[in-house]
């Protein structure tokens, strides 16, 4: 008998949620030793399809074949039994447990107590084999997000997954980590394992995948060989029209009132290591200052200091002349788009409408004498859903049920609609599709043109260059240099990102 070349075939999968047809007869297959890309805009139905595969959702129609045989995947444990591993778009690790404890969590054990020694050995062996190094004894919350991802992958490999689903794995990775991941993927496919790779970064999809399946609005659009594709073609199939990220012309704003002023700021990271060193920065009204840098060079601490989430060890931060701590809760002063949208940006079990008023829910017009005024809250939600193009059947839906990109839009709508004098946007386009990225750029540019001061932190050099009036490059918590956005070139910034001082700084 000839061995089946397909590790996985999903045929005509349909999945409905109240008010949404998330998957409308979608088919996807993956050969042994192949990387299959899965592409589609935010809300297209990618995660839903993978949740069906992993037994988290029961499909309303269609079938799944593993090694050519039809199977019923009724739960994640059934999925694991069939050799399916999944690294979720939003990690599902237990923050307070160590890497090793997370990996063995849920594994059957024959003994009355948990003997971690053999598990540790196996984990170290897997880490070495795939070049994904983690400290087994550090609690998850202390690990950088890249290593949390390795823990998720190692967890699946520990269970010997034959088909590994990676849902936007590189959205949170620094470039060097993405390279490491690529190498690990290469190893895995050499061993005959199959990978389903979801990403909004087309360059990576072109590099890593063998074939790509494109879906749009819950529907199957097509599958193509990667070597016959171009980024432009993929984008077009995905969005239905051509899109690209370019620097747009912008009016000159004459009046340069300083809004955000940071003076000699020093701050530590979660582990007590100095993360910002004598940091000085002024952002003026009507200006976008982009912070370029490899993730993990102080970006997170920078935005947390401004938002009052992190204490300075010394120095000062003012907004329009006032201490930042005095105005941080005032939506007309600071709009804040945090890096981790699920942990600090949203309350996942609240509705879209509730999340949209979370800063002002106790004030008029949303509440009177401590009683919420629901018709007003509903109307407000309806307006913002339209204005910011949030894809949801209504404002009553829990934010948890929105796609990742649409969750981000909820935060942007809430934070920017009050027209604050300062916008702090930390990785605001992470995980967004190209159309949505262009949309966020348009919004930030409009904010600038209305006179807001904008601090824009992003690990994507291309978008920092497209959007910024001035660019500062952050390396190990220090400003390596400041460049004019109109004149900056990628190779100079790239060198500065690696810690080399510029010859021409402005
Ligand atoms: N549990 C759920 N209940 C209700 N609706 C849901 C649920 N899960 C997903 N949806 C809806 O199904 C649609 C598809 O969402 P899905 O998360 O699969 O998109 P996606 O392609 O992964 O998007 P992204 O790129 O933003 O992650 C969206 O409209 C979403 O709001
Ligand atoms: Mg998704």
Contact 500, 491 (CB under 8 A): no
Which CATH superfamily includes the segment(s) 244-333+420-506? P-loop containing nucleotide triphosphate hydrolases (3.40.50.300)
Which CATH superfamily includes the segment(s) 6-239? P-loop containing nucleotide triphosphate hydrolases (3.40.50.300)
| Angstrom distance (rounded) from CA 162 to CA 356 | 42
Question: What single DSSP character describes residue 172?
Answer: G
- Read off φ and ψ for residue 235, nearest 5 degrees: -60, -40
| Angstrom distance (rounded) from CA 220 to CA 40 | 10
Ligand 1: atom nearest CA of 45 is 18
Long-range contacts of 239-242 (CB under 8 A, 24+ apart): 239/41, 239/433, 239/434, 239/435, 240/216
Place of tokens 């990775």: 173
Question: What single DSSP character describes residue 351?
Answer: B
Total-model pTM: 0.76
Element (H, E) at 327: helix 324-327
> Could you tell me the residue ranges of all domains in the chain?
6-239, 244-333+420-506
CA of 89 to the centre of ligand 2 (A): 6
Residue 111: the pLDDT is 64
Which segments of the chain have a pLDDT < 70?
1-3, 108-114, 242-243, 502-506
Equal CATH topology for 6-239 and 244-333+420-506: yes
Residue 506: the pLDDT is 41
Residue 1: the pLDDT is 52
Ligand 1-lining residues (CB < 6 angstroms): 17, 20, 22, 40, 42-48, 89, 391-392, 401-405
Question: What single DSSP character describes residue 343?
Answer: I
Residue 396: the pLDDT is 95
Residue 430: the pLDDT is 84
Residue 460: the pLDDT is 84
CA of 403 to the centre of ligand 1 (A): 4
* Residue minimizing CA distance to atom 12 of ligand 1: 22
* Residue minimizing CA distance to atom 31 of ligand 1: 402
């Amino acid at each position: 008998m000839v061995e089946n070349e397909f590790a996985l075939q999903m045929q005509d999968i349909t999945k409905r949620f109240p008010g949404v047809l998330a998957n409308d007869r979608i088919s996807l297959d993956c050969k042994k030793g192949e990387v299959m890309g899965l592409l589609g805009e935010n809300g297209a139905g990618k995660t839903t399809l993978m949740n069906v595969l992993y037994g988290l959702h029961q499909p309303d129609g269609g079938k799944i074949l593993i090694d050519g045989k039809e199977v019923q995947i009724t739960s994640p444990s059934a999925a694991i039994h069939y050799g399916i591993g999944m690294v979720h778009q939003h990690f599902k690790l237990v923050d307070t447990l160590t890497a090793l404890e997370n990996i063995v969590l849920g594994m059957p054990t024959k003994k009355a107590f948990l003997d971690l020694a053999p598990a540790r050995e196996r984990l170290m062996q897997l880490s070495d084999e795939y070049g994904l190094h983690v400290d087994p004894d550090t609690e998850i919350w202390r690990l950088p997000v890249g290593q949390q991802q390795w823990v998720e992958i190692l967890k699946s490999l520990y269970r010997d997954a034959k088909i590994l689903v990676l849902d936007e794995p590189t959205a949170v990775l620094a470039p060097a980590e993405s390279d490491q991941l690529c190498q690990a993927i290469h190893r895995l496919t050499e061993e005959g394992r199959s990978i389903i790779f979801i990403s909004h970064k087309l360059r990576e999809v072109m590099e890593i995948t063998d074939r790509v399946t494109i879906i749009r609005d819950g529907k199957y659009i097509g599958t193509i060989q990667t070597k016959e594709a171009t980024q432009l073609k993929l984008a077009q199939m995905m969005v239905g029209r051509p899109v690209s990220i370019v620097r747009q012309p912008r009016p000159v704003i004459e009046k340069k009132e300083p809004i955000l002023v940071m003076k000699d700021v020093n701050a530590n990271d979660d582990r007590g290591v100095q993360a910002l060193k004598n940091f000085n920065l002024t952002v003026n009204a009507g200006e976008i200052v982009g912070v370029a840098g490899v993730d993990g060079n102080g970006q997170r601490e920078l935005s947390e200091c401004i938002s009052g989430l992190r204490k300075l060890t010394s120095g000062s931060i003012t907004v329009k002349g006032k201490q930042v701590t005095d105005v941080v809760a005032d939506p007309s002063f600071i709009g804040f788009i945090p890096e981790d949208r699920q942990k600090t940006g949203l309350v996942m079990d609240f509705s879209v409408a509730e999340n949209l008023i979370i800063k002002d829910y106790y004030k008029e017009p949303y509440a009177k004498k401590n009683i919420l005024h629901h018709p007003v809250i509903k109307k407000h939600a309806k307006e913002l859903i339209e204005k910011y193009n949030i894809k949801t059947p209504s404002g009553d839906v829990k934010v948890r049920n929105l796609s990742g990109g649409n969750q981000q839009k909820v935060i942007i709508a809430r934070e920017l609609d009050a027209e604050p004098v300062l916008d702090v946007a930390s990785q605001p386009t992470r995980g967004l599709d190209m159309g949505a990225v262009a949309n966020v750029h348009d919004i930030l540019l409009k904010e600038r043109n209305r006179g807001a001061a904008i601090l824009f932190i992003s690990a994507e050099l291309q978008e920092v260059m497209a959007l910024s009036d001035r660019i500062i490059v952050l390396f190990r918590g220090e400003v390596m240099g400041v460049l004019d956005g109109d004149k900056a070139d990628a190779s100079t910034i790239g060198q500065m990102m690696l810690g080399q001082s510029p010859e021409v700084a402005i």
